[in-house]
Amino acid sequence: MKKDLGVVQAVFPMPVLMVAAYDENEKVNVMNVAWGMISAMNQITLFIGRGKKTMQNIRVSKAFTVSLADRAHMKEADFFGIASGNKMDDKFERTGLTAVKSDHVHAPIIDEFPVVMECELEQEIDTEEFHAVVGKIVNVKAEEGVLDEAGKVDPEKIGAILFDQFRNDYYAIGEKAGKAWGEGKSLM
């Protein structure tokens, strides 16, 4: 029997995405975003609060990067979610992480995270109910160590973390459970 829980954010898992952008002085800011998704073949949509420092930077630079947070850098990723760039001028510097300039967009790449999408700001959507940015993915970079023999990203090698909104916990990606577009074929 199922029990009523009321209104909760019941989508699991949620990605732990590190969104980075430069301000008008080329200063790096990074934030932790769990409410984001691929919305087209070359597009990502992120739900970011209107007043967030990284959102202000995206408006200025018209570009941003989105990295997949990994278990090895969970402490820094969590810090990027609890510290505000509007209140803490040295937020990025406190982590000791390294930022390098993207070759494809005017945005920083956080070198320690294994997979990064380089994005141009395509659209800002602002309604009474939500605020979102849509980015055009112009390139994806990945550390060689997280690639398989065919040169594709291997999720088991990333060590990516996921956000659990039920209990506010992080989980690491586990083993492969099945093959998409294959497991259900027997029901066709």
What values do phi and psi take at 3, rounded to 5?
Answer: -110, 135
- Ramachandran assignment for 159, one of left (phi > 0), alpha (psi -120 to 50 degrees), beta (any other): left
Give the whole-angstrom CA distance, residue 178 versus residue 119: 31
pLDDT at 8 over 90: no
Please state, in angstroms and as integers, the Cα–Cα distance from residue 34 to each residue in 78, 109, 112, 188, following that order.
Answer: 11, 18, 19, 35
- Quote the pTM value: 0.94
Q: Contact 178/164 with Cβ under 8 angstroms?
A: no
Q: What is the CATH number of domain 14-187?
A: 2.30.110.10
For 155, the enclosing helix (H) or strand (E) is helix 155-158
pLDDT band for position 11 (cuts 50, 70, 90) = confident
pLDDT in tens, 124-146: 999 999 999 999 999 999 999 99
Please tell me whether residue 129 adopts helix, strand or coil conformation. coil
pLDDT at 175 over 90: no
Domain residue extents for the chain: 14-187
Identify the bridge partners of residue 121 per DSSP, sorted by sequence position: 135
pLDDT in tens, 82-102: 999 999 999 999 999 999 999
